[in-house]
Each structure stands twice: as C-alpha cells, then as structure tokens.
A = this chain, B = another copy of it.
Amino acid sequence: MNIVLFEPDEVGVPLPRSDRRVEHVLKVLRRGVGEPFDAGVINGTRGKAEIRELTETRATFAYVPATTPPVTEPITVVVGLPRPQTARDILRDATTLGIAALHFVRTERGDASYAQSTLWSSGEWRRHAIAGAEQAFETTVPAISCGKRLPDVLDAVCTADPNEAQIRIALDNYEAPLALSQIPFLTETNVLLAVGPERGWSSEERAMFRTRGFQLAHLGTRVLRTETAVLAAVTLARSKLGLM
C-alpha cells in the first residue's frame, strides 16, 4: 500500500479500529494522532491525511487534498469470466496499470459458474481493485461488472458518437491477422480491449466483434495465461497512447 485510499463518504467519519487502513496507518506506517501520511479519495484527489481522533474502538481521519481529481483513463477491458484467482490478479494488476473499466463477461466457451464465486457475491472483488490503485500511488479505481453477457457489454461500451475516436481490439490466438503491437493508435483515443476466456471465442462471438468494428489481434505465438494477456495488452495499449 503506497497510498491510503478512502471512499468519498469516509473522510472525516469515524472508522473502526479493525479497518485495514487504520491498522496500516498505526502498525505499518507507525503514524500517531496528527502525523501526516499520503492519502487519497477513490477516483478523486490525492493529498495528506492524519488521524485526528483515536479511541479504543475508532479512528477519525482528517484529509487535505493536494491535487485535482484524475482524468478518466482511456482503456476499457472486457474479459471472458475467468476462475476467481485469475480474476483477483486481473482486478489488482490491471487497476495498477491504469484502466477506466473492467467487465468480466459470460461467453459461449466460458464457465458461467465462476460468477457464483464469493469473490463476486461478498464484494471482495472491490478490495482487489482498490489494492491495485494503492499500489499504483493513484486514486483511480475502474468501474467493474461481472456476469453480464458479452453482447450486452459490447453494446454498452462501444461509443455511439461517430466523432469520438475508439480503437476496438479483440485478442484472438486463432484468426487474428496481425499483432496488437502493429495496430496504429491515435494518441487521443479511447481503447476497448477484449480478452477471451481460456477456451477462446466462438465463431458467433468473432462475428459480433467484427460487426462492431473490432480488429482481431494476437500477442505473438506463445500461449499466455489470461492474466498475462490482459497485462501485456494493457501495457502495449498504454505505451501506444504515450502513457507508459
């Protein structure tokens, strides 16, 4: 945790002593009342916080912003619903790299039962994304969904406005004519990256992508784990956008 992040409605409100941020500030950062540390508000400003009041059961933080809120990240990732441990890694590491939204979708060859994991029903998923932002020393936590159908998510994330530039890329090991790294990018554009489930896209899904103006692209001949493919694709997209 390189920065301590609060939800917008948590600033100035007493938090339980057992809260992981209270524990972190007291035990890892070793900050007492009135001693400042790096903090931020999720999807808002960064600045300095300090403990204002500390009782046996609660801690209340004061926070002073020092930056303006971040601009929206340009990359949206759509990924075939993976097993929960893979989803945890993607939630954390893709957030660290910097993305606007992350949609784990049901696909024809995916295993829909993964959506039943307690990762999703308990709200645990959000903790991993916040941990990714805390690692990055940034406040940006992506919008996240799980278990929607691929076409519904594509309809929602494809820009309707013809004046808004949007590059759409679906990774595909089988039918992609070129490498993601060879696709030219404008720097002022939004990017949609779709990464299939372990067993790949169906032909109907490939047709959905083509109809919606996606290019099929690969990441070379080596077969990557889903989480590695997501990180590699986001890395290449960010570097093409001049962000990395």
Contacts and interface: CB of A to CB of B under 8 A. Distances in A.
Contacts of A225: 93, 96, 135
A220 B236 contact: no
A189 interface: no
Contacts of A220: 98, 238, 243-244
B224 A135 contact: yes
A236 B2 CA distance: 25
Given A137-B223, A138-B222, A179 B231 contact: no
Contacts of A243: 220
B232 A181 contact: no
A25 interface: no
A137 to B, nearest CB: 5
Interface residues of A, number: 28
A136 interface: yes
Contacts of A223: 2, 96, 135-137
B222 A231 contact: no
A235 B238 contact: no
A242 B137 CA distance: 32
Contacts of A137: 222-223
Contact of A235 (B96, B236, B242): B236
A232 B225 CA distance: 15
A158 interface: no
Given A231-B231, A244-B219, A244-B232, A224 B97 contact: yes
A224 B223 CA distance: 24
A96 B138 contact: no
